[in-house]
Structure 1
Amino acid sequence: MTDQVVAGTGRGVLQDVRRSGFCFSGGGRYAACLARRGHRLAPELWDLTGDGPRARTLRGSGGENPQTALVATDDGRVLLCRPDGGAHRLLLAVPSRDGDAPAEERLLATVGGPALRLIAGPAPGTAALAFEAGADRTTTVWRLSGRDEPPERIAELPVLVNGGIWLDGTGDRLALASGRAGTGGTVVLNLSRGVLTPLDGLAGDEHLLLAAPRPGVLLTAARRDGAYRLGVRRRGDEGPTAFPDRLNAIEGGVTPLALDPAGRRLALAVTRGARSHLLLHDLVEDACREVGLPAGVLYRRAHWGDAGLHLVHSTPDHPPGPITVLRPSRSRAARRLSRPRPARPPVRAYDGPAGDIEAVVYGDPDTARRVVLALHGGPESSWRLGFDPLFRRLAAAGIAVVAPNQRGSTGYGAAHRDAVRGAWGGPDLDDVLHLGRALSAARGPSLERPMLYGPSYGAYLALLAAAARPGLWARAAVVAPFLSGRRLHDDGPPEVRNLIDRLGGREEIDDDLGPRDLLRLAGRMRLPLLIVHGDRDPVIPVSHSRRLRDRLRESGHRDGAGLTYLEVAGAGHDPLSEAGGHLVLDRVVGFLSEGADRRRPPCDRHGPP
């Protein structure tokens, strides 16, 4: 096996494609996902059997939506679970032999219930299992063969279950997560008998993460000494789980991906800053080494079989797609398919008021005709080195992008992440204003002032920056802003209120700017604004943007001149990536590409210029 990295190709792959819902077939011969190009969402099938992953779009009825679940089969078909009103339609999509012809769709069954999910199966005759969650908190399990035949009902479980980790290669024993009393959270479904039993050997607080079926090696997680630790054991062993020291001392955000077929090596995605690293840990030696990948992002989906380790990877220049590493050397052609490394580093460290601030950068912010400072949502989030259609579109339009991970971002340690606890719009706003001044100084008086962009919490932070230093910015485009932590706590959904409580989002900051309430600060925002909000946003009510729009009008903003308000009918929290999102993307890019005032203010004033 070699560390060769083979990236996906595929006929007609467009660079602005968005992909989600990746799933590998049970044997790892194929993968499937949903791909959106423009307004069209369709299944995409990836063939992993050749020298490099190859993609083809399955043109069918065009009835997909983001809730469609799918599983690839090992013979190159795709099983679809398509929501239809209060039911779910299970279909088999058979690709045509002629790559340009539509795929043939065959209805297998219509299943009721509020939720239905699929997991890939490991053996012939079990291409996938479907789990139907009942309103009475029971689960019906169906077997899908991958052929044109109805699913087989194989079990009625008295509890709701999640996850799904195969413990053998025959498709008979499947580990599931359950709240069933006395099981420690992990149970085993015996498909031949349709019964649940506890998974022997695990402690009461221990959870199964991965398994290598042939040798019976299990990877678990449990809380030990105040932190979650990864454990290793063999199925059937009577002794306690081992928690290797070096495995649990790896720095960064660690995500287990897959165990090799022999159960000796563990593939880990480790996030440090904006990028992912692929580490291979030898569980026998408790030793780790890194596999070189182009700077980018690794996703949770992976499959490690005899043909190699299949991962889902994205870079600023490539949408998410399968790559293959640790595969047997096949041909020189495979080497030619290796994804090239970017010509210039895609991240840059800026001096900040409390230490370095890492930023993902598109273009040259010092010389581009325009530059936008893009602020991520969250606050417990970060920009990463994955593909972003908006940033690519802006760079193509001659607009450089600086996307910083200011204080409050994840991936840089607890102190950096927790700096905004009880201080929303405090240390993070200081970082943003510092970066704005640094960008403006580096660009000199002949180039336009920086612009602002942000979604969700980033929208809130961008508007705070626009109010705090209105003379520093040329314009601002925001998506789904909220008015303040206090106001969002009053009318947000329970999960948002819980986050606000946990992070102290209702606490006020006592400084010259005063309470971080956008209604109070609207009169200071003397710059062109674009506000975008989906009218069905389940996270931040659209009423926040409507109230802000009305207050901006009262303070002198005129529609179509200083204020553009775009409420997207039928859209949720991320209208740029949902159906019709390409049109919203056009509006944002168009607004940020419009001519801005090239004149510089004499100084960076606290009030309106």
Structure 2
Amino acid sequence: MTACAIEPAAADEDSFPPPAGCVITVDGGYAARLAGQGEALFPERWTLDGPAPYAVPLPAHQPEERGTEVHPLGDGRVLIRRSAAGRHSFFLLYPTGPGTGELPLGAVECPEGARLRLLPPAPCGERAYALASGRGSSTVWLVAGGAFGPERVAEIPGRCSGGVWLDRAGRMLALDRESEGRTKAVVVDLERGGEVSPLLQIAEASDDRVLLADPDSGLLLITSDAPSPGEPRLGWGVVGSTLPVRFPECLRLSGCTVTPFAIQPAQVLTPEGCAVALRLDGPLGSWVGVWRPAERQMHQLPAPPGWLAGAGRWTPQGVLLLPCATPAEPCGVARVEVPAPVAGPREPGAVPAAVPDGAAEPAAPRPVPLQEAPLGRLVTK
């Protein structure tokens, strides 16, 4: 079998996942994206928590560059990052009658060779962070929600990429840190001056990254090449659990890229039952996968027309909501019918780390790969 590709592939300047068609707040109230065609791009805010979704254009006095990032906040304003010659400027956009209001927040200067990207929306909806990744160190910046413009909140030795929130308070941040030629996921405590703790270390010579996390259940979606050196595999584990990471065979699709983008929330005591939405990319386009850790199969579903691929969220009740934009409906949300959980034997809990499902179990179990860190106590309460 030809293994699927997994994103991100490497901890270099291209290891940030490509931006989704839109970015959604954690509570699902708002989304933001760059709309328009060709070079005539402008920010657009979507309101999703009303009777029907609707979009509000937020054009500036000139079109936006294609690499410009937009980021919704919980109060309906949209953060925008514009960059030129290593200078990253941040503004808050909001509608003002027929025009767009802009509140400047300041700028961050990056040295040559450094790369800055906005991190995923913070769970609180009030703050926004950016990660500046350099060759020898990386910096987490608070770029919206602070008192005096961009604030440096953490300095981490090593080149970092990724970025996944691990708790509802927006305190614990998982980053993938490259050091001495290997990449390992670490936890950064933003309330303790950027204190760094190990999170994911499956094997000494493996590259181990965190892709998604659910703060309620502690479910983690990770990639590692520990099962097959040089070939990243998609796996899962539970923060604070004594069970090792597992690498289901059903998450390998020949000739396809599999990228998880949403985990069902509010399943506090049942991480194995959380539904996970996956973006599947192949020669014929993109479509949707749904998988639960307790099952041994992935359900593949057609993407709705106009899906902004890679964006979406779950309701606690297990309904998958996907933002869509078509000429007939430029702002829409598709409710995807998801197959119910399949009754049958549960996923075995004793499969050792770095061993695919169905492989022979070694005589001695490997060490638990999810390291004990402050995260375990914060998330599993």
Structure having the larger proportion of residues in strand: 2
State the AA in 2 paired with 1:103.
Answer: T
Task: Tell me the equivalent position of 1:24.
Answer: 24
Q: Secondary structure at the match of 1:60?
A: coil
Give the one of 221, 229, 235 matched to 1:231: 235
Task: Tell me the equivalent position of 1:311.
Answer: 322
Task: Tell me the equivalent position of 1:266.
Answer: 276
Judged with a 3 Å threshold, the aligned counterparts in structure 2 of structure 1 residues 199 and 164 are, in CA distance, closer, same or farther, namely same
Determine whether 1:212 maps to 2:222.
no
State the AA in 2 paired with 1:268.
Answer: L
Aligned residues of 1:253 and 1:272 also touching (Cα < 8 A): yes
Task: Tell me the equivalent position of 2:117.
Answer: 117
Distance 2:55 2:163 in 1: 26
Percent of residue pairs identical? 33
Judged with a 3 Å threshold, the aligned counterparts in structure 2 of structure 1 residues 257 and 178 are, in CA distance, closer, same or farther, namely same
Task: Tell me the equivalent position of 2:335.
Answer: 325
Judged with a 3 Å threshold, the aligned counterparts in structure 2 of structure 1 residues 324 and 306 are, in CA distance, closer, same or farther, namely farther
Distance 1:310 1:44 in 2: 19
* Cα RMSD after superposing both structures: 3.3
Q: CA deviation at 1:190?
A: 0.8
From the CA coordinates, give the structure whose radius of gyration is larger. 1
Aligned residues of 1:52 and 1:324 also touching (Cα < 8 A): no
Judged with a 3 Å threshold, the aligned counterparts in structure 2 of structure 1 residues 266 and 238 are, in CA distance, closer, same or farther, namely same
Q: Which runs of 5+ in 2 are unaligned?
A: 1-18, 338-381
Q: Which has the higher contact order (CA 8 A, sep 6+)?
A: 2
State the AA in 2 paired with 1:102.
Answer: G
State the AA in 2 paired with 1:74.
Answer: G
Task: Tell me the equivalent position of 1:433.
Answer: none
Determine whether 1:245 maps to 2:234.
no
Judged with a 3 Å threshold, the aligned counterparts in structure 2 of structure 1 residues 129 and 32 are, in CA distance, closer, same or farther, namely same
Aligned residues of 1:138 and 1:156 also touching (Cα < 8 A): yes
Aligned residues of 1:276 and 1:297 also touching (Cα < 8 A): no
Q: CA deviation at 1:188?
A: 1.2
Task: Tell me the equivalent position of 1:583.
Answer: none
Give the one of 103, 113, 119 matched to 2:100: 103
Distance 1:298 1:107 in 2: 29
Judged with a 3 Å threshold, the aligned counterparts in structure 2 of structure 1 residues 159 and 278 are, in CA distance, closer, same or farther, namely same
State the AA in 1 paired with 2:155.
Answer: E
If the length of structure 2 is used for normalisation, what is the TM-score?
Answer: 0.69
Structure 1 segment 515-530 matched on structure 2, within 5 A: none
Deviations 1:316-355 (A, max 9, x none): x67996634359xxxxxxxxxxxxxxxxxxxxxxxxxxxx
Q: Secondary structure at the match of 2:61?
A: coil
Structure 1 segment 270-419 matched on structure 2, within 5 A: 270-291=280-301, 293-294=303-304, 299-306=309-316, 308-313=319-324, 323-325=333-335
Aligned residues of 1:92 and 1:146 also touching (Cα < 8 A): no
Q: Secondary structure at the match of 2:45?
A: strand
Deviations 1:471-492 (A, max 9, x none): xxxxxxxxxxxxxxxxxxxxxx
Judged with a 3 Å threshold, the aligned counterparts in structure 2 of structure 1 residues 147 and 94 are, in CA distance, closer, same or farther, namely farther
Q: Which runs of 5+ in 1 are unaligned?
A: 1-18, 328-609
Give the one of 195, 218, 224 matched to 1:222: 224
Q: Secondary structure at the match of 1:120?
A: coil
Q: Secondary structure at the match of 1:246?
A: helix
Deviations 1:44-97 (A, max 9, x none): 11111124432121023326212222211111111111114441211111222x
State the AA in 2 paired with 1:280.
Answer: V
Deviations 1:419-471 (A, max 9, x none): xxxxxxxxxxxxxxxxxxxxxxxxxxxxxxxxxxxxxxxxxxxxxxxxxxxxx
Task: Tell me the equivalent position of 1:128.
Answer: 128
If the length of structure 1 is used for normalisation, what is the TM-score?
Answer: 0.45
Q: CA deviation at 1:175?
A: 0.7
Judged with a 3 Å threshold, the aligned counterparts in structure 2 of structure 1 residues 183 and 20 are, in CA distance, closer, same or farther, namely closer
State the AA in 2 paired with 1:124.
Answer: C
Structure having the larger proportion of residues in helix: 1
Distance 1:73 1:259 in 2: 20
Q: CA deviation at 1:313?
A: 4.8
Distance 1:123 1:270 in 2: 26
Distance 1:93 1:179 in 2: 35
Q: CA deviation at 1:232?
A: 1.6
Structure 1 segment 513-552 matched on structure 2, within 5 A: none
Task: Tell me the equivalent position of 1:155.
Answer: 154
State the AA in 2 paired with 1:323.
Answer: V
